């Protein structure tokens, strides 16, 4: 592999903002040497249980992590379909939206190539389809593998969560969906 290609990142990460306060978040991000956080939340601020952008930005920049809030890269409210024990994302509609925002996605892909990036949105799995789809789209464009950041969700009920959310649904997904990437350290990138 040439040193030219080694300059670029190989993965893009995703993470929830539900799993603890700011110190826990910073610890989680620094554990994987994340350099840039791309926040795609579009929900009204009153629904953000933790980490509204104006609070998150100074915490992350103090930890030398770039913070970019780009709600235009997140799904529109109409893309979320309530029902059953979880919210479902109309991924086809969301992907169509992202295709129409090619310039913004390409910009994000360029950043993700250069900075170890984590796409964040509010809710823990399984309501994480928004960040998964965006990370996949960016990953396809930039040749990056999409991985979930290691996490320890608390699983308790949150009154501000969308209707249909249950802790049981969250816990059922954690074991199978969160990938163990601790063996991959920053100094082993390539």
Partner 1 sequence: MNFFHWDGAPLFEAEILAATSCGHAVELESGQTLERPGHDDYERALREGGRLGSAEKLTDRPELVAAAQAHWHAEGGNSCIFSAYLSEERQDHGWETFVVLESGPAAELAAGIEEIVAPRLAAPAIEIVSVVLPNLDDAAELAALVGHLGALPDWSAVEIGEETDEHAGALVKVGLRRDVELDFESEVLGFGCHPGAARTRLAPFTELAIRAKPPPRFKSHMRAVMADIRLPDISGATMGEWGKETAQLRESMLGDGHDLRGKAKVTFVLPKTAWEASKNL
Per CB under 8 A, the list member of 111, 134, 135, 138 interacting with partner 1 is 111
- Alpha-carbon distance of 121 to 78, in angstroms, equals 17
Query: Which residues 132-151 are close enough to bind partner 1 by CB under 8 A?
Result: none
Which token pair is 167? 């802790």
CB atoms within 10 A of CB 148: 21
**Site for partner 1 contains 156 (CB under 8 A):** no
CB of 53 to partner 1, least distance (A): 15
How far from chain centre, in Å, is Cα 22?
15
Query: How many amino acids of this chain bind partner 1 (CB under 8 A)?
Result: 23
- In the bound state with partner 1, the residue whose beta carbon lies nearer, of 111 and 119, is 111
Stretch that binds partner 1, among 21-29, 78-86, 93-101, 113-121 (CB under 8 A): 113-121
Stretch that binds partner 1, among 43-51, 114-122, 128-136, 151-159 (CB under 8 A): 114-122
Per CB under 8 A, the list member of 43, 48, 66, 178 interacting with partner 1 is 66
Per CB under 8 A, the list member of 47, 95, 101, 114 interacting with partner 1 is 114
**Site for partner 1 contains 6 (CB under 8 A):** yes
- Reported for 102-108, long-range contacts at CB under 8 A and 24+ positions apart, including other chains, are 104/70, 104/72, 104/73, 105/73, 105/137, 105/138, 105/141, 106/141, 108/38, 108/70, 108/73, 108/134, 108/138
**Site for partner 1 contains 54 (CB under 8 A):** no
**Site for partner 1 contains 2 (CB under 8 A):** yes
**Site for partner 1 contains 101 (CB under 8 A):** no
Which stretches of the chain bind partner 1, using CB under 8 A?
A: 2-4, 6-8, 35, 60-61, 64-68, 109-111, 113-116, 189-190
């Amino acid at each position: 592999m040439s040193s030219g290609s080694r300059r670029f990142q190989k993965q893009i990460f995703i993470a929830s903002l539900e799993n603890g306060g700011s110190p826990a978040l910073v610890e989680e991000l620094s554990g994987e040497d994340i350099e840039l956080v791309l926040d795609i939340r579009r929900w009204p601020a009153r629904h953000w249980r933790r980490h509204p952008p104006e609070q998150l930005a100074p915490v992350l920049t103090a930890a030398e992590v770039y913070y970019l809030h780009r709600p235009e890269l997140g799904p529109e409210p109409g893309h979320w379909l309530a029902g059953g024990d979880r919210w479902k994302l109309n991924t086809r509609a969301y992907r169509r939206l992202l295709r129409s925002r090619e310039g913004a996605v390409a910009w994000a892909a360029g950043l993700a190539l250069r900075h170890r990036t984590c796409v964040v949105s509010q809710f823990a799995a399984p309501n994480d389809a928004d960040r998964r789809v965006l990370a996949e789209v960016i990953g396809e464009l930039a040749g990056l593998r999409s991985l979930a950041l290691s996490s320890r969700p608390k699983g308790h009920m949150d009154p501000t969560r969308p209707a249909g959310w249950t802790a049981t649904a969250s816990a059922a997904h954690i074991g199978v969906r969160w990938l163990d990437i601790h063996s991959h350290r920053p100094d082993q990138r390539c």
